[in-house]
Amino acid sequence: MPASETSSTRVVRVGARRSGAWLVRYALEQLPISHTFGIPGVHNTEVYDELGKSEKIHPVLVTHECGGAFMGDAISRTAPGQIGALVIVPAAGMTHAMSGIGEAYLDGIALLVISGGTRNDVEFGYQLHELNQQKILAGITKGAWRVEHHKDIVPTIFKAYHAAVSGTPGPVFVEIPANLQLFQGEVQEVPVFEPHVPAMAAEDSALDRAVEMLCAAKSPGIFAGWGAVDVVDDTQKMADLLGAPVATSLQGLSAFPGNHPLHTGMGFSRASVPAAENAFKNCDCLLTIGARFGEIPTGSFGCVVPENHIHLDINPEVFNRNFKAKVTLEGDSRVVLPKLAAKLAARKPNQAERRARVTAQIAADKAAYTKEWLAHVNDRVNPAMFFAELRRQLADDALMVVDDGNHTFLAAELFEVRARRGFVSPTDFNAMGYCVPGAIGAKLANPGKQVVGVVGDGAFLMTGLEILTATVERAGVAYFVFYDGELSQISQGQEIPYNRKTCTILGKVKLEGIALATGAKYIPINGNGELAAGIRDALATAATGQPVIVDVRIDYSKRTRFTQGVVKTVLKRFPLGDKVRFIGRALVRKVTG
């Protein structure tokens, strides 16, 4: 079909009657989409029939739309340039997917959701699944549309895509009534898809002020978030030039390589590892790249940000929201940071002495923290030994997907992330159940890379049956399930103020049964002596395309720095009377039981 120019946009002449389902497939095939996720129903079977003909897009049947949303989210996180996509039924399909949509919204991840809809060509009300989906989704999407005419299907999907990937990325939603999908309508032309081009660059004067502040600083530091994940090389260049330590957010752990000598860890508050807390203790100029100072990486807002603060972000609403900035650089980091790095390099700062001093302190602190963890040994699996052995056996470009729980912060503190976009975690929405389906999406988008999931037993129980999808799709993921029988992150948080655990003790579950039910291989690891062989077996099996459930009997008795630091920071903010009441109650319960 030839393309032609109009006064406003390029179009393709169709000149024929087309079904809405054909138009949906046409639009999706123009976009950077490799897979769709969802479940067919009476309101979208025609779209699924069209997708079944596609040579470009592979539709994936999931066991639950929430899992499908997490799969799509993980594709957007781990495959640069691609966007995850859902094709779901209205009402229940939409509400099931809402946890994944909300995760993408708060974490700034592009996601395209295509939903069926009730008919708009009949006079009857109370149709099956009749619901105002746009109203429900208004608070967790960047845009939600209901298409009323065939001619609007392709333009609306393209409009939604550009909304999803522009500025701070996020989820978008397009509803297509069932009758439009089923029946043909007159469509003379459709627009040509125009790829998204990053825009927005900060002014040179602001960049010059930032460089002046960095060069004048005695102890500069860099804080990198998810918005820095595609500018790793420039961040390294600036860190090396300045001799500056680099901390990351939880979501941004893969924005700076963990084996770089200036890498310190997640955050720089009292809830951070010693290498980070000490390296930033006297920071007098902070460069923040694509981070919003959310609750988790700041240790419940317990970090200290210096007056000389340079904040680079694509979303101006984050500036000065939680911590003040002296210089703000509004723009896409992929455009702005290379310019800032070039200006800094032109100044030729010589900070070899500072770099040597900072890297030596970081190395010493990391070694001492590892030694502390390795000394904590009992009859269960030591987390530090587990992550060290997993790191030893994984390729540098391997992808790790985690969930929400104690294991998340163990991974953040003890696992060395080396690959850009190599660590995926639910963050601000913080939905449990992300890991199992998220790892499937990551594997489908990156079939040539090792993909492992690390998940707590509580989070695993939420979406573990989605491993059936991994089996069907031959998505070889090794899932390391940290089994201790508790919702440990919360139960540990209950111990200090309550001295008791309420509703955080899980029922006993046999993970081998879930492996049998879903077609996965089951591997138990009961102690440290089984780590090397168990991990080797799991990775080898996953390489054949079969998913694996590894039952890791983890030792959670030692708390992470994150848990210790957050509890202290939060308790410190309590009103004096309530602080005394909480501590007193805990002491009484400790004595009386």
pLDDT score at 198: 76
Determine the 3-state secondary structure of 340 from DSSP.
helix
Give 251's contacts (C-beta < 8 A, 6+ positions apart): 107, 225, 226, 297, 425, 427, 428
Is residue 578 included in any domain, yes or no?
no
Domain co-membership, 419 together with 444 = yes
Strand order in the sheet with 246-248: 263-266, 246-248, 220-224, 285-289, 309-313, 327-330
**Beta strands 478-483 and 548-553: pairing type?**
parallel
Is residue 187 included in any domain, yes or no?
yes
pLDDT score at 13: 80
Q: Decide if 250 contacts 266 (C-beta within 8 A).
A: yes
Q: What is the dihedral of CA 477, 483, 486, 489, to 10 degrees?
A: -60
Domain co-membership, 208 together with 291 = yes
CA distances from 25 to 22, 271, 490, 537 (A): 5, 48, 44, 41
Domain co-membership, 483 together with 359 = no
Tokens of 73: 């989210």
> What is the H or E stretch that residue 206 is in?
helix 204-216
Domain co-membership, 299 together with 329 = yes
CA gap 590, 593 in Å, rounded: 5
Domain co-membership, 419 together with 511 = yes
Determine the 3-state secondary structure of 384 from DSSP.
helix
Is residue 198 included in any domain, yes or no?
no
Structural domain count, the chain: 3
* Other Cβ atoms within 10 Å of 350 Cβ, number: 10
pLDDT score at 591: 66
Domain co-membership, 242 together with 131 = no
pLDDT score at 496: 64
pLDDT score at 200: 67
Question: Residue 379 class from Cβ within 10 Å (0-12 exposed, 13-18 middle, 19+ buried)?
Answer: exposed
Domain co-membership, 224 together with 174 = no
Give 99's contacts (C-beta < 8 A, 6+ positions apart): 66, 69, 70, 429, 431, 433
Give the CATH number for residue 261: 3.40.50.1220
CA gap 507, 484 in Å, rounded: 11
Predicted TM-score (pTM) of the model is: 0.94
Is residue 579 included in any domain, yes or no?
no
Determine the 3-state secondary structure of 267 from DSSP.
coil
Picking from 558, 555, 585, the residue whose alpha carbon sits closest to that of residue 571 is: 585
Give 301's contacts (C-beta < 8 A, 6+ positions apart): 293, 295, 322, 569
Domain co-membership, 41 together with 166 = yes
Domain co-membership, 184 together with 220 = no
Q: Decide if 449 contacts 441 (C-beta within 8 A).
A: no
Is residue 312 included in any domain, yes or no?
yes
Domain co-membership, 422 together with 540 = yes
Q: What is the dihedral of CA 122, 126, 127, 130, to 10 degrees?
A: 110
Is residue 353 included in any domain, yes or no?
yes
Domain that holds residue 427: 376-562
Q: Decide if 240 contacts 251 (C-beta within 8 A).
A: no
Residues of the chain scoring pLDDT < 70: 1-9, 200, 496, 590-591, 593
Q: Indicate the residue among 191, 218, 241 that finishes a domain.
A: 191
Give bridge partners of residue 222 from the DSSP assignment. Answer: 246, 287
Domain co-membership, 273 together with 351 = yes
Domain co-membership, 281 together with 418 = no
Q: Indicate the residue among 363, 384, 414 that finishes a domain.
A: 363
* Tokens 């998810």 belong to residue: 226
Is residue 590 included in any domain, yes or no?
no
Chain segment 420-429, per-residue pLDDT in tens = 999 999 999 9
Is residue 493 included in any domain, yes or no?
yes
CA gap 26, 2 in Å, rounded: 15
Give the CATH number for residue 469: 3.40.50.970
